[in-house]
Copies of this chain bind each other. A is one copy, B any other.
Amino acid sequence: MHQEVAMKVVIIGGVAGGATAATRLRRLDEHAEIVMLDKGLHVSFSNCSLPFRLSGAVDATDKLVMMTPQAFAARYAIDARTMSEATAIDRAAHTVHVRNLADGSEYDESYDKLILSPGAAAVIPPIDGIDGADVFPVKTVVDVDRLHTFLTSRGARRVSVVGGGFIGVEVAVNLAEAGYQVSLVEAAPQILATFDHDMVQILHKAMVDHGVDLIVGDQVSRFDGDDMTLASGRVVGGDAVVMAVGIRPNTAIAAAAGLDVTDRGLIRTDADYRTADPDIYAIGDAIEVTNALTGRPMALQLAGPAQKQARQVADHICGRTVRNTGYLGSNCIRVFDWNAAGTGLTAAQCEREGLRYDYAYVIPQDKVSLMPDASPLHLKLIFEVPTGRVLGAQAIGKGDAVKRMDVVATAIKFGATVDDLRDLELCYAPPFSNAKDPVNMAALVAGNLLDGDFRQVHVDQARGLVESGATIIDVRDPTAFQAGHLKGAVNIPLAQLRDRLDEVPRDRTVYLNCMTSQTSYTAIRLLQGHGFTNVVNMAGSMLGISLYEWFTDRTTGREPIVTGYCG
């Protein structure tokens, strides 16, 4: 018989972090009393899967609920209570005040240890006329069920999505796949801030290619029913509005209890996710975490980190020490037939952090080009100058972009340099990769840059070069050149270059391009071998530049810098 007095742990919030903490606690301590409170109708649902209900990929709403309170009780002896809102914490008394939303009753629940995993709520901004619109957040099973039921029962055809973060984009994609006519409005100049402005243009095009009316750099100023008038004056008609402009941490009771909460509403914790009160832990979307690369605090609303924190807290409560190694923010998203992933810092973040950095942008095939489904993989590898330390990466392609970012995320955890990435020995067979994986390839280019083997300009510099009449030599074969090239570029195929050296100016900077900048790199080395010190590679070349330019050309009607888009 077990004789000790059992420990009692109360957990506020029963989704990703809360449910993980509860079950790990049970596995570590069969005798602890574990109470899990959630104000919603469900605990333990797959919040990341909510958007997939809208396309039918998840074909029934109740499948989104992974464990019922009954299952928590039977399998884990966990007292999971839904519709149970924690309204206050009495730290001195070690109690949580709970309101039963089903019957209105209230009570105090005592705890030895308290875990706050309250998550965050969708922000519904006070826009003119919003009360008259059919506005839906997508944060809970109830939310997505309401939206799905509304759309199907009303025969809605047009849905406006406001906000281009992960949830907004996933909702837009899934609704478009279900046949709805979708508009997506994002106030920033781009969707998905985890991707740099250059890379995300590929996804902008993917959205448009699949029928989404994508509007960036604009915002809703007024609703008339479900129609929206934007700041630009543009009117976007719709039958329903999904609001995904952001989330607000549910940390009011933490603040009211005198715990340390930041201006952004995030709870501050120590390395073991303990708040200022040693008997109260906090995890998940509601806390501030440490960026593993910069050492600085950051918000991070991702399920993987929440689960790691949950496990670490359960371990700590049970006397086990786990090292908190910080977070990279590794992330991924499917945008129709494109896969996109990133890890570590973006170039934009490096800029804001004042880091000295550069990046390689390569576009190799994701597998042996002979394979029927081979496709270009756009990979941006960001590294510190002059150390070569890997700071981050982004990959977008129809093939396995996520794999490459998982590899980089793994390497970054060990403080990898680009030379380390070059040396990685990754799995290769023609259906899966190339003998040089795209990660190796990007690292080779990065190493060449660090070695000073060549200089480059980036895709976002191409327009300025074309418009200023810079000397651009395209080294592809004439047929490829004819199909589309940078305006003003001169065609000297690589195979003719040694015989036509006298056509390459020596008195001004000469920019070399091709399809993906790999052949132009060879041309650069060739020319340098003949004494040219004035040659610069155009990273990304026609494929990268075409994709970079396409969406803005299309939406602004500006003059294209290419005679024909590639890719």
Q: Given A368-B49, A370-B49, are A330 and B427 neighbors across the interface (CB < 8 Å)?
A: yes
Residues of A394-415 at the interface with B, using a CB-CB cut-off of 8 Å, are 400, 402-403, 405-407, 409-411, 413-414
Q: Is the CB of B409 within 8 A of A48?
A: no
Q: Is the CB of A427 within 8 A of B57?
A: no
How many residues of chain A get a CB closer than 8 Å to chain B's CBs?
Answer: 91
A370 to chain B: which residues have CB within 8 Å?
Answer: 46, 49, 52, 57-58, 63-64
A75 to chain B: which residues have CB within 8 Å?
Answer: 494-495, 522
**CB of A320 to closest CB in B, whole Å:** 8
A243 to chain B: which residues have CB within 8 Å?
Answer: none
Does A435 touch B at the CB level, under 8 Å? yes
In the complex, residue of chain B having the shortest beta-carbon distance to the beta carbon of A373: B57
Complex A-B, nearest 4 residue pairs according to Cβ-Cβ distance, in ascending order: A30-B529, A74-B495, A414-B414, A332-B427
Q: Which of B58, B413, B431 contacts A423 (CB 8 A)?
A: B413
Does A343 touch B at the CB level, under 8 Å? yes
Q: Is the CB of A30 within 8 A of B402?
A: no
Q: Which of A144-152, A233-241, A254-262, A300-308 contacts B (4 or more CB under 8 A)?
A: A300-308
Could you say how many copies of this chain the assembly holds?
2
Does A298 touch B at the CB level, under 8 Å? no
Q: Count chain B CB atoms within 10 A of each CB in A27, A371, A416, A494 and give the residue with the most.
A: A27
Cα of A423 to Cα of B328 in the assembled complex, Å: 11
Cα of A328 to Cα of B426 in the assembled complex, Å: 9
Q: Which of B58, B74, B330 contacts A426 (CB 8 A)?
A: B330
A341 to chain B: which residues have CB within 8 Å?
Answer: 427, 432
Cα of A343 to Cα of B57 in the assembled complex, Å: 34
Q: Given A328-B425, A409-B424, A416-B414, are A430 and B494 neighbors across the interface (CB < 8 Å)?
A: no
Task: A323-B419, A343-B427, A411-B414 given; name 18 further pairs at CB < 8 Å.
Answer: A16-B435, A23-B522, A48-B368, A57-B372, A74-B494, A74-B495, A77-B498, A304-B436, A307-B436, A323-B423, A327-B425, A341-B432, A343-B425, A400-B403, A402-B433, A406-B407, A407-B407, A407-B410
**CB of A64 to closest CB in B, whole Å:** 7
Does A31 touch B at the CB level, under 8 Å? yes
Residues of A405-455 at the interface with B, using a CB-CB cut-off of 8 Å, are 405-407, 409-411, 413-414, 416, 419-420, 423-433, 435-437, 444
**CB of A445 to closest CB in B, whole Å:** 12
Q: Is the CB of B428 within 8 A of A332?
A: yes
A323 to chain B: which residues have CB within 8 Å?
Answer: 419, 423
Does A101 touch B at the CB level, under 8 Å? no
A343 to chain B: which residues have CB within 8 Å?
Answer: 425, 427
Does A193 touch B at the CB level, under 8 Å? no
Q: Is the CB of A430 within 8 A of B52?
A: yes
Q: Is the CB of B413 within 8 A of A425?
A: yes
In the complex, residue of chain B having the shortest beta-carbon distance to the beta carbon of A416: B414
Does A325 touch B at the CB level, under 8 Å? yes
Q: Is the CB of A46 within 8 A of B16?
A: no
Q: Count chain B CB atoms within 10 A of each CB in A26, A77, A305, A402 and give the residue with the most.
A: A402
Residues of A294-345 at the interface with B, using a CB-CB cut-off of 8 Å, are 302-308, 311, 323, 325, 327-334, 339, 341-343
A sample of 9 inter-chain contacts (CB < 8 A) reads A26-B526, A74-B494, A170-B429, A306-B435, A308-B423, A334-B429, A339-B432, A400-B400, A413-B423
Q: Is the CB of A304 within 8 A of B74?
A: no
Interface string of A456-467 (1 = CB under 8 A from B): 000000000000
Q: Is the CB of B403 within 8 A of A413?
A: no
A400 to chain B: which residues have CB within 8 Å?
Answer: 400, 402-403
Residues of A238-276 at the interface with B, using a CB-CB cut-off of 8 Å, are none
Q: Given A372-B57, A414-B414, A528-B30, are A331 and B424 neighbors across the interface (CB < 8 Å)?
A: no
Q: Is the CB of A307 within 8 A of B435?
A: yes
Does A71 touch B at the CB level, under 8 Å? yes
A46 to chain B: which residues have CB within 8 Å?
Answer: 368, 370, 430
Q: Count chain B CB atoms within 10 A of each CB in A30, A368, A370 and give the residue with the most.
A: A370
Q: Is the CB of B425 within 8 A of A30?
A: no
Interface string of A337-358 (1 = CB under 8 A from B): 0010111000000000000000
Cα of A328 to Cα of B423 in the assembled complex, Å: 11
**CB of A192 to closest CB in B, whole Å:** 12
Does A29 touch B at the CB level, under 8 Å? yes
In the complex, residue of chain B having the shortest beta-carbon distance to the beta carbon of A329: B425
Q: Which of B30, B427, B530 contacts A525 (CB 8 A)?
A: B30
A332 to chain B: which residues have CB within 8 Å?
Answer: 427-429, 432-433
Cα of A2 to Cα of B64 in the assembled complex, Å: 70
Residues of A64-110 at the interface with B, using a CB-CB cut-off of 8 Å, are 64, 71, 74-77
Cα of A495 to Cα of B74 in the assembled complex, Å: 5
Q: Which of B334, B342, B427, B498 contacts A432 (CB 8 A)?
A: B334
